[in-house]
Structure 1
């Protein structure tokens, strides 16, 4: 297939690892329905089991063929599929930035360093492949011999990548030093350079943190680099993948002006890619975050827009795990917990390692007072998202789970960790206030409640009881009483 399509086209369309070949989700929308033709017609595969499965799919009724097995979203999407409303679309520009990690050159003069540098690059590539914010060129493509002698200006065309990571590795005794350069492939600009050190033994044991640290730094750099063009260029002139990354980055910053600009970026991407699920799902999440951040002036309207936008995301791709998780997230705020649980379960059925779905399932258990399950799910989410640039959100939700489970000391540790990254996040401040009060540290609880009111001046117990998803449960009633005792007013 690579010979048929050519290297550039193949790299644009497919993601290749050591054991899998996948279509790049940002390049295509799965389309069509039974009326558009025979399912997989013309595909000649000499496998009895495969052909039996194809026969079962072709024999399925029109209303169920090629639709998700779960009823999740079926009422919103089935009509579009049956009527042929969903059409094929290939984006002129990709939605996710593409990163290539070139094997690190050894400088030991014996060849051992180059072999080790290749192994490190492979592990960094694997780690990056788990990030939902970027697409990464396979290690097999990135270690092509042509790339080792190529000029930096040639790498973008050879790899079809937006960013290139390369450098050197130095071995000494049982330690290594990795010199990493992060370069914008289009301009050749060196965005950052940094050194990392570790132990060779730990690397091969899988216990060295250098790989995850480098991958985390790369992910953060990609998202940070997307902000730059916003200061000098009009939105219509900025590449699509930069706009989406900028929108994701800005919606997690503390300034209301940045949050507002995030919506503008996401809306621009939705306009460019109206039949792609991912931008709409992020936009729906923006509206939920608008409420959770305490900036919404009309929560009912925001939730209505979030629900509609999330449903449209599933219209585009009914099996997108992120869109399914976001649809569940919206239902947190409509008191539809059964529906929310179902959406999260469906997301995990499609992607068992979807950290957001694990996290939000834990949040639901927190709301209804099932502390043990809440901790189990939120901790699983944190383990699955060690590189998430917005770890504060995971830490905040895990803090709430620990508090409901009665582990107030751990809740404080997680809340403090979250506040280091976002010191004004109301949810974290509520957890911290509640935990301090439950530990009998009244003065500290009162001081934290004052911080909460500064971060969210319109907050009150009445507002909490009227709008918080847990308000009608014993958990919410108890939290309201404790927060009031710490100094949160009954009415704004």
Structure 2
């Protein structure tokens, strides 16, 4: 029997699990939590939004614990069906709208008539819908096809197996699986099935087809532990869960069970490799198909992945994927936010044929994203990015970054771009501090060159030219087509009195962009007349750029 949730939003709020057995969800805040997700774009809300709406502004830790407890209650009540219905990350909670059935309409009574949740934000949210119930009424009548689509590939890591009955190996295998899931959950492009579900699954079976059928994952990471003379060998397999094909194998060694820092670094490397493999697979598949045949979950990951690659061909192709994503998933705020970022980068990279038009399109896209989800930390961040780099409205940009971090203190891109803004405002200390926080929270998605590039700019603002050069070189190793990184390298070398190397770096910039000039920089860069900009102009002029 198919698993789905029945929910009555009008009159008495009733929520029932319909599976092999019917289970009634009775807790007021548990029902309220599900109602909020059921009416959210793509069934997804940030943890911060849920915490503040249902438990008020009682402090991050208190709200965090309350939400965790509510989700744990639902997991205990629903059992293994919880992971069929819900997907959770460290930043948001998502309800699978394809498994939702609405069983009431406004004729049954007021919206959530019997839910007496006292928190101010919840009452305001209910009152706004009662004042204009048309949108929720439409949901109850029919669910638009676009909202039933999943925009993210799903993945999990099972605990690593072992031979015999060695409790230390069992604990280690479980810890590796848990750590890998935590690292993978930092990706905004993956839906990570919880480690607890993976553990429960591994206790029953590790047959790939059964795991795929039960957990609904697209990709699966598993492996085995074995002892050797020099320590413990960890063999890791990454599989396509639908076909069972092993995509790659990695192994690493743990020499000392009492010192696991090195193992944690290896696990992070493996998780990054998993994320990159999923991205590369999506892009390769998307390139081989007509646009109409590309799956929804591959559209967004391909669009964002290609947007951050080095060649202009990849960058221009990414717009096709992102535009298609906004057409297919019009109610998903992040599709519009990523398309806005494309327009910002199109101007910054110097590819635009109409800067005024692309600037307006970027602002229009972020406005659409924030209309759909005012609490989207990504949309707030990209809107700040557009105001900072295109509109040159630093005050509004700062407000957007602060709002994004209020919603989600772990939004690494907001910290990163806030650091860039602080560098523009000649606050080198704050620029470096924000950049370091961004790097601490750095996502595992494969565009870290951008974090390195903006780190270089932050260190220039802080007069630390040695570190500026280190990060510029590291960024260029990954992507040598990012103009501002070349500019940062020239500036760092010039102010370190390494003038010959600065001239060589300038020649490299002109080799890639032969028509680049000081006039172009003065005309297009938001802080060309500020301290940071004047330094760049002085360094480029002394290094042979006219």
TM-score by length of 2: 0.77
| 2:83 alignment counterpart | 11
Q: 1:466 Cα deviation (Å)?
A: 1.2
Name the SS of the counterpart of 1:208 in structure 2: helix
Measured after TM superposition, the shift of residue 174 of structure 1 is: 7.3
SS class of match (2:118): helix
Residue 360 (str. 1) matches residue 417 (str. 2): yes
**Matched-pair contact (CA < 8 Å) for 2:80–2:197:** no
**1:404 and 2:461 matched:** yes
- Is 1:453 the counterpart of 2:525 in the alignment? no
Where does residue 113 of structure 2 map in the other structure?
Answer: 41
Q: Does 1:246 align with 2:318?
A: no
Change in Cα spacing, 1:416 to 1:58, as seen in structure 2 (3 Å) is same
User: Which 4+ stretches in 1 moved above 6 angstroms?
Assistant: 25-28, 59-62
**Contact between 1:106 and 1:112, CA under 8 Å: does it hold in 2?**
no
- Please report the RMSD computed on the Cα atoms of aligned residues, expressed in angstroms: 3.1
Deviation at 1:160, TM superposition (A): 0.8
Separation in 2 of the partners of 1:297 and 1:197?
A: 53
Kept in 1: contact 2:311–2:481 (CA 8 A): no
| Cα distance in 1 between the residues matched to 2:276 and 2:205 | 28
* C-alpha distance in structure 2 between counterparts of 1:276 and 1:341, whole Å: 25
Structure 1: tracts of 5 or more residues without a match: 29-33, 45-50, 67-80
Cα displacement (A) at 1:39: 6.3
Match of residue 22 from structure 1: 93
Unaligned runs of 5+ in 2: 6-15, 20-78, 100-105
- Is 1:176 aligned to 2:232, yes or no? yes
* Number of the residue aligned with 2:362: 306
Per-residue displacement from partner, 1:343-394 (whole Å, max 9, x unpaired)?
Answer: 1111101110110000000000111211111111011101111624111000
Residues 299-448 of structure 1 aligned to structure 2 (within 5 Å): 299-332=355-388, 333-385=390-442, 387-448=444-505
Instruction: Give 1:107 shift.
Output: 3.1
**Are residues 234 and 200 of structure 1, via their aligned partners in 2, closer, same or farther at CA, if it must alter by over 3 Å?**
farther
CA deviation string 1:368-422 (max 9, x = no partner): 2111111110111011116241110000001001011111011000101101100
CA 1:409–1:150: 2 relative to 1, 3 Å: closer
The alpha carbon displacement at 1:433 in A equals: 0.3
Q: Single out whichever of 109-118 and 282-291 deviates more from structure 2.
A: 109-118
- Check the 8 A contact 1:294/1:426 in 2, yes or no: no
Q: 1:164 to 1:203 in 2, by over 3 A?
A: farther
Does 1:479 pair with 2:536?
Answer: yes
1:113 matches 2:113: no
Preserved contact between residue 100 and residue 165 of structure 1 (Cα < 8 Å): yes
Cα separation, 2, equivalents of 1:43 and 1:334: 45
Q: Please state how far the C-alpha of 1:341 moved relative to its aligned partner.
A: 0.5
Q: Is 1:210 the equivalent of 2:266?
A: yes
Q: How does 1:63-78 map to 2 (within 5 A)?
A: none
CA distance in 1, matches of 2:327, 2:81: 25
Tell me the TM-score normalised to structure 1 length. Answer: 0.85
